[in-house]
């Protein structure tokens, strides 16, 4: 399944008439240029799961990092690294949600 479709499904599965009013998914641009991703984990099965931080810097334009803090998956990366950020969340979430 395509990563964006997977993320849409993940979001939809957590919408319960309440969660989506307070929490959700934010994808934005940053001025490096690049991307920022914030995915709320509160009230999901991922809320208390451990995430091994990722910090990859191939060069000034090809980089990304991801971590979990304060109940959120946080990612940022270069202008062409959005899919890697989303794939990092997807891979982690799929493993943890199978537990």
What's the pLDDT score for residue 98?
Answer: 77
**Residue 70 lies in domain:** 3-97
Name the pairing type of β-strands 34-40 and 63-69. unpaired
For 18-57, b where at least 16 C-beta lie within 10 A, e where not — what string?
Answer: ebeeebebeeeeeeeebbbbebbbeebebeeeebeeeeee
Kindly report, residue by residue over 76-86, the tens digit of the pLDDT: 999 999 999 99
Q: Which of 82, 89, 97 is nearest to 7 (CA)?
A: 89
Please give the tally of structural domains in the chain. 1
Model pTM score: 0.94
The answer to whether the CB of 35 falls within 8 A of the CB of 28 is yes
Kindly report, residue by residue over 22-41, the tens digit of the pLDDT: 999 999 999 999 999 999 99
Separation of alpha carbons 29 and 36, rounded Å: 6
Separation of alpha carbons 71 and 73, rounded Å: 7
Alpha-carbon dihedral 31, 84, 2, 30, rounded to 10 degrees: -10
């Amino acid at each position: 399944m395509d990563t964006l479709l997977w993320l849409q499904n993940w979001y939809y599965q957590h919408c319960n008439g309440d969660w989506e009013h307070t929490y959700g998914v934010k994808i934005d641009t940053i001025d490096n240029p690049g991307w920022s991703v914030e995915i709320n984990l509160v009230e999901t099965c991922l809320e208390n799961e451990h995430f091994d931080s990722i910090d990859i810097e191939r060069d000034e334009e090809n980089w990304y990092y991801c971590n979990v803090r304060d109940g959120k998956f946080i990612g940022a990366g270069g202008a062409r690294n959005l899919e890697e950020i989303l794939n990092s969340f997807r891979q982690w979430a799929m493993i943890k949600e199978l537990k």
